Structure 1
């Protein structure tokens, strides 16, 4: 594509050219530094001509945005609240459904039986461990007592 003249960029900025030509101009900007500088100059001239006329577009645009935003904020809050309640309700119903399925399947019953068996096993192991320690202690004390009796006899 050939370089775009400054008048072409002015027409582009004024939105006076067809959409297909706009796309060509935009694609050309990516690869041509000369046209990019011409575009920036045309933008500066367009901006300065707007300032000379005393037309301030930023103020009315910002006012309309704030008015629209204010109206949408209330609606947006209401929608978020409704969506939040729906989500919470949906999660609660899913959790309740899974709980019912697990209860019907006997999963919780098998868990309680497993825990009971583990508790009884640990109690038995603890008792046998304690009994073993007590037995060893008594055997040790008996051996000391025997040695003392034998030692007194030999003297």
Structure 2
């Protein structure tokens, strides 16, 4: 296939050529770097010629959605907001109910008593783990030293 001119690429971008020719152009792009660069230039020129900034796509899309659903977009958003508020309220009420049940059952009271007992047992043991290890090490070394002295006396 011969190289495709920029005018032909512009026609391709404007969708003014037959489908068979489009496929032929696309296949040619895979193998020809020159045509690819010409195509990219044509695409950039077409892009700058369009007034993209003034085009609002959100409005028409939202109108299409509302026509398909049969209602307005504002009603749909209002319905979602109300449903979300009901869900949040339901979850809050469930949590509050469980809290009241746990308080009535004395779960929180027994938890505080358990924490108090754990704290009081830790207060009784004021010696740290390191100090305890040092004491045990010195006791062990003293017993070894005592055994060595007894062993020398017996000889």
Same fold (TM over 0.5): no
Instruction: State the TM-score, normalizing by the size of structure 1.
Output: 0.41
Please identify the structure whose Cα radius of gyration is greater: 1
Instruction: State the TM-score, normalizing by the size of structure 2.
Output: 0.41
Structure having the higher helix fraction is 1
